[in-house]
Every structure is written in C-alpha cells, then in structure tokens.
Amino acid sequence: MPLRILLVRHGLSSFNKERRIQGRDDLSTLSEEGAQQARRAGEALSDVPLKAVYSSPLQRARQTAALLLAAHGSPQDPLHVDELLEIDLAPWSGLRREDLLVHAPEQERRWREAPETMELEHPDGRRYYPLLELMDQAGRFADRLLAEHQDSLDGSGTETVLVVAHNAILRCLMLQLLGLPVGRFRRLRLDNAAITVLNISRAAAGELDVQIESHNGTAHLEEALPPKGAGPRLLLVRHGETDWNRQGRFQGQIDIPLNANGLTQAEAARIFLANVSIQRAYTSSMARPRQTAEVILRSHPGVPLTSNRGLMEIGHGLWEGCLEGEIAEGWPQLLNDWKRSPETVQMPEGETVQQVWDRSLTTWNRIVAGLDPAETALVVAHDAVNKTILCALLGLTPADIWAVKQGNGGVTVIDYPTGAAGDPVVACLNLTGHLGGVLDRTAAGAL
C-alpha cells in the first residue's frame, strides 16, 4: 500500500476527566495521564518513519502531537490544520454530560441515537447541524491530504503520515475515506491516544482503494482493550497462520491445521486476552480456528466451545490448494475480477461472497441474540468470514471485503451497547500488537 495514514486521538484531557463537553472549545488541556498516553503512542510508533504530520490546532491535540513526536524521535514539525478542529458544540461547551439530560433532553437523545439529525442554535444566532458540518469539514481535509500525497498514492513504496486530532473529526474522516454515510458515525469507537491504521492506494482505473488495517488500538496503553460498557461484547479472532497462509495458497474449506507460527500466534492471543472475562466461545467447524480457540481458552477453563458450520471459510472450489500464479494460468479473468470486483465472482465449483455473507451473518446474529448484556463471547473464524461480518457491521457491502484487513491471530472487538437488537459498535479492529507491533505483519495469505 503506497500511502499509510495513522490516526491518533489526543490523550485524556482535563475535560475528558471531568466528563465535560469540549467540542472545539480550547479551554481543555492534556492531563498528566493524557501526556503519558501520548508518549506511549510515540514509543509504539517509534519504528515507523513519518513522511508528514498533521494536527488539530486545539491545544490538547497540539500537546499530544508534540509529546508523541518527541517520544517517537521524529524531527517532523506538525502542520496545524483548521480542517482537523473538533465538532462545533458551542452551545454545550463546558457542560457535564448529565447536565444535558436536564437542560436539553431531546437534543441529548438525538445526539445519542441519530446525531446527524441533531440541530443546535449557535451563540451567533444561526441554526446548524454540527455533525453534518463536521462531515463536510472531514471531506475537505481528506481531499487536501490525498492531493498533498498524490505522488505517494501513485508510487511503488510506502509513505506514512500521522494525523493527530479528536474523536468526532477522526471518525468522520474515516467515514469519508471509506465512502460511508454520516449515519454510520456511531458504529466506530475511538479512545484517547488510540491508534488507527489506514492504507490507501490507487487502482488501475484511477479510483482509490481504502483499507482499514487496524482500528482503535490501545495495547500500548494500560488497557489492552477498550473498557466494556453496557450490552454484550464479542471478540472476533482470525485463526493463526497455516503453512498454506505462509505459501500463499488458497485453502478455503480444505482443513489445513495451524503451523508452528500459528500456534505461537494463538498463544500470544491467549496471553493478550487472559484477563478478559469470557463466558461463551464459538468457532468454525474447521481445524485451524478450533485449534486457535482451544489455545485461547486455556486461560478461561470451563468456557464451553461450540462449533458452527456457518463460520466455515469461503469455498474456493477448484482454486483450493492452488497458488495465485496457478490460478492466473487457468482463470486469468476470473482472478482479476476477484481482485477488483469480488462480489461478482462465482468460484469455480465454490461459493460467492454473497453466500458467505448470508451464512456468516445469520450465524453471527444468532450468537449475538443468545448473549446476556453482561456477557462476552469469543468467536474464532476465517479471513473471508470475518471480513463479511465486519463489512456488514460497518455498513459496507460484499463489494468492499478488501476494505477490511484480518491478520492471523488478530483480535477485533464488537459491542452492542443497547443490546442485541441495537446497532453494533466496532470498538477495535484487527489488533495485532500482541504479535509484535502496531502494524500488521502477519502473512498476507491468498484470499
């Protein structure tokens, strides 16, 4: 991927600690804990060279960027960009969240349930929709960012840029880059000093390909995972590496076991999740996810493990066992279609992405519906299965499966804060820090 974008939310601020609304008010500063978070983010990224750094001009973001870069050892000076200002909530600035329930209950409800519909009256007298304005602002920054790194998008190397800003603007920026509507704003969580990694390249036809490599990583902080709130939580894990992953063979529904590195990855996931409370566990009926789940559950004795065929990997049919070069000899156009328009491909004697989507989501929704609000469930499955589930939860389509990365042994967290019938929240996605760093360095595999 030619252009890598690192998104970092500012560290814990004084207003964050007091549960006050800050918006683009510049009265809030980094707390001592927030300063330490910024330093840890810099240390976590210390082996990643930075081509450019962009920061919100608000002091809590400026302070975070300065501390992060000092810990990183980077000589870069941030560009302070007004398009990275936080959402404008001027009428609410300084209020505690519980105050809104008293002074503006209807607006507070809209902010929680459908923030894009929330209208406020600005101190200057104008009526406005804060989130809609922020989406436009994020679009302007995205256009600027891509224009300033045009050569990187068209090149063969990888350049990395760092963006340090705020919760709402960074979520809007992700929505803009992924082509998602503002109504998906609540589907993403972003914690203080968390790291998100996006990869962007330009396809042959000129359009942009955007991939979430990881989202809301907090392993460099005291809490490995974002704290669980109300409602059930699911830990979605891809199985560890197999020999065929390492070789780049399409394995599909051929039951290849974990290799030695895959077992090591499963053990790393076990350690990473050892202190997480887990009540239930589910796995694909195939060997590689079952082995991964069994290793993870060594730290959770007594948790039952249920196998489900609905979580089996995509059936590649006649491609199974083949290297990409071998497939290119026999099915050159179909392989090209698979890379560019996967939703259009019927695997020879295999499945379509839509078929995997349907059975994976049916199984996932059944698991979610069976959980109590206090419960956390482990789900271990495969690359294509996990990608279809995550695309559906984010509001993407079967055409977008390449927009989500799933590394061997990577951990994703999905919350349902209002219960199984409510909207899901991607609390974090494809965390691989327990495997050796912020960036996903697992085998690319063949999917």
pLDDT digits (tens, 9 = 90+) for 336-363: 999 999 999 999 999 999 999 999 999 9
Residue 372 to residues 70, 228, 236, 368: CA-CA distances in angstroms?
45, 14, 17, 9
Residue 278 backbone phi and psi in degrees, to 5: -125, 130
- Give the separation between CA 105 and CA 158, rounded to whole angstroms: 48
Instruction: Indicate the pLDDT class of residue 447, thresholds 50, 70 and 90.
Output: confident
Closest CA to 247 of 314, 324, 316: 324
The CATH number of 3-217 is 3.40.50.1240
Secondary structure of residue 57 in the 3-state scheme: coil
Q: 120-121 and 127-128 as β-strands: parallel, antiparallel, unpaired? A: antiparallel
Dist. CA 145–CA 370, nearest whole Å: 44
- pLDDT number for residue 156: 67
Say if residues 308 and 393 touch (Cβ distance below 8 Å).
no
For 22-60, b/e burial (b = at least 16 CB within 10 A) is bbbbbebebbebbbbbbbbbbebbeebebebbbbbbbeb
Six token digits for residue 75: 């000589």
For residue range 51-92, what is the model confidence (pLDDT) as tens digits? 999 999 999 999 999 999 999 998 889 999 999 999 999 999
Which residues are CB-neighbours of 207 under 8 A, at least 6 positions away?
none
pLDDT tens per residue, range 162-178: 999 999 999 999 999 99
**Contact criterion met (CB below 8 Å) for 398 and 299:** no
Residue 110 has what pLDDT?
A: 92
Measured CA to CA, the distance from residue 117 to residue 139 in angstroms comes to: 19
pLDDT more than 90, % of the chain:
90
Q: Quick one: pLDDT at residue 1?
A: 58
**217, HSE (Cβ side, Cα atoms, 13 Å):** 30
**Binning pLDDT at 50, 70 and 90, where does residue 444 land?**
confident
3 state DSSP class of 320: coil
**Sequence-ordered list of residues with C-beta below 8 angstroms from that of 261, at least 6 positions apart, any chain:** 240, 241, 246
Do 141 and 173 meet the contact criterion of CB atoms below 8 Å apart?
yes
Q: What is the DSSP letter of 187?
A: G
- Fold classification of 233-435 is Rossmann fold (3.40.50)
Q: What is the pLDDT of residues 112-158, one digit of tens each?
A: 999 999 999 999 999 999 999 999 999 999 999 999 998 888 766 78
Side chain identity at residue 443, one-letter code: A
Which pLDDT band, with edges at 50, 70 and 90, does 379 fall under? very high
What confidence category does residue 203 fall into, taking pLDDT thresholds of 50, 70 and 90? confident
What is residue 202's predicted lDDT score, i.e. its pLDDT?
Answer: 86
Instruction: Map residue 220 onto helix, strand or coil.
Output: coil
Structure tokens at 359: 């059975």
Quick one: tokens of 444? 């690319």
Cite the residue boundaries of each domain of the chain with CATH code 3.40.50.1240: 3-217, 233-435
Helical (H) or strand (E) element with 391 = helix 383-394
Q: Is 204's pLDDT higher than 90? A: no
Give ∠ CA 143-115-19 in degrees, rounded to 5. Answer: 100
What's the pLDDT score for residue 88? 97
pLDDT-based confidence at residue 103 (cuts at 50, 70, 90): confident
Determine the distance from the C-alpha atom of residue 95 to the mean position of all C-alpha atoms in its chain, rounded to a whole number.
Answer: 30
Which residues partner with 52 through β-bridges? 161
178: its two tokens: 């992924």
- Whether 412 and 429 have beta carbons less than 8 Å apart is answered as yes
Tokens 């349902």 belong to residue: 416
Q: What is the mean pLDDT of the chain?
A: 95
Work out the average pLDDT over 206-220: 93
- At residue 325, the pLDDT reads 94
